[in-house]
Amino acid sequence: MSELLVMRDLHVAYRTGEGRLPAVRGVDLTVHEGEVVGVAGESGCGKSTLVSTVLRLQPKNARVEGEVVVLGEDVRTMRWGDLRALRWAGASIVFQGALHSLNPVHRIGRQIAEPIQVHEPDLPEDAVRRRVDDLLDQVGLSASRSRSYPHQLSGGQKQRVMIAMALACRPKLIVADEPTTALDVMVQAQILDLLRDLVHDLDVGLLIISHDLSVLADVCDRVLVMYAGRVVEAGRADEVFSDPLHPYSAALSGAFPRVGDPAARYAPAGLAGDPPDPRELPQGCSFAPRCPRAVDRCLEAEPPLVEVRPGRPVACIRVGEP
């Protein structure tokens, strides 16, 4: 089976005191074995909601429509016991803010062992310990680290521990939500190298969420750019980054300048305004109020995602126009 994750026309809306809040509005996404797919977008674009649906971790007030198929089974209709088995062993998630999600009072070896013991209760203790040592080795930490407490580790080391935990039950699919945010450039490079090696060696599928398109361009095969709950552009990662077709992708790509590019010197590129409130989406294209290329036609209807080149869907009616 080569498709590890398939989302089809996924919609997620939250019921809130102030009415219905649509967070994800019709997303299609596929992750194959051995493939790294990235989702780019800023706070509030729905990317973390998207992640939560992969293992049915969305909050109770969320209403999910469409399909979320993980390893061939629809997570939405799966029985509780099957879902439990799927978590960690079939697919695992490295959550955003991982640096704070380790338990401060337990040694890290014990924390990595926990999902293993839950999923394989019959495994003898020394086998669990060996697995933990192997996992630490796999993420570039020495086995002696299993006796450390989280506060004894640096940010980069904690992130490695989180990745070791995600690998603990040998999942086929790993989802990483902002895996390098808050890490230094050098540590970020180390973590990205590690993720790349793991995908290559273990043939897992990896879905990475980030607001930094340059990071995604570096590690992903394909990326999807999300804005206000929808995919506005998708394609090969390097192409979307170096030759973005949607004005929003262009803004994300330009936000991280190429060092040495004279055009970026004393000219930080930004985008005026904030993303729209999902409860009060603007008429027409939801990006239009911030779009430097917007014209009156953009306010008429939300532009559909149209394949403008093979494998390159873009939701903008002005693609190709001067």
Partner 1 sequence: MTAAPDPGAAFIEARGVTVEFTTRTGHAARALDGVDLAVPHGEVLAIVGESGSGKTTLARTLMGLERPTSGEVLFEGRPLDYSLRGLKSYRSRVQMVLQDAAGSLNPRQTVYESVAEGIRLHGRARTDEQGRTETELVAAALAEAGLRPPERLFLRYPHELSGGQKQRVLIAGALALRPELVLADEPVSSLDASIRGEILALLLELRRELGMGVVVVTHDLGLAWNIADRIAVMYLGRVVECGTTEEVLTAPRHPYTRALLSVVPEIDQLEPVVLRGEVPDPSRIPSGCRFHPRCPALADGTADRAGVADACHHRPLEILPATGEHRAACHLV
**Residues of this chain that bind partner 1 (CB under 8 A):** 42-43, 154-156, 182, 184-190, 193, 211-215, 217-218, 251-252, 254-261, 264-272, 274, 290
CA dihedral 75, 76, 81, 82 (to 10 degrees): -30
By beta-carbon proximity to partner 1, the closer residue of 13 and 194 is 194
By beta-carbon proximity to partner 1, the closer residue of 172 and 290 is 290
* Residue appearing with tokens 């014990």: 110
* Residue appearing with tokens 């993420």: 139
Minimum Å gap between C-beta 292 and partner 1 is 12
Minimum Å gap between C-beta 280 and partner 1 is 15
**Residues 181, 210: contact at Cβ < 8 Å?**
yes
Beta strands 222-227 and 36-40 are parallel
Tokens of 306: 């149209």
Minimum Å gap between C-beta 224 and partner 1 is 15
By beta-carbon proximity to partner 1, the closer residue of 55 and 102 is 102
- Which of 130, 129, 302 has its CA nearest to residue 228? 302
Minimum Å gap between C-beta 194 and partner 1 is 10
By beta-carbon proximity to partner 1, the closer residue of 65 and 243 is 243
Tokens of 1: 């089976």
Beta strands 173-177 and 91-94 are parallel
By beta-carbon proximity to partner 1, the closer residue of 59 and 270 is 270
Minimum Å gap between C-beta 274 and partner 1 is 5
Residue 271 in 3-state DSSP?
coil
By beta-carbon proximity to partner 1, the closer residue of 265 and 297 is 265
Minimum Å gap between C-beta 293 and partner 1 is 15
- Burial degree of 132 (CB within 10 A; 0-12, 13-18, 19+): buried
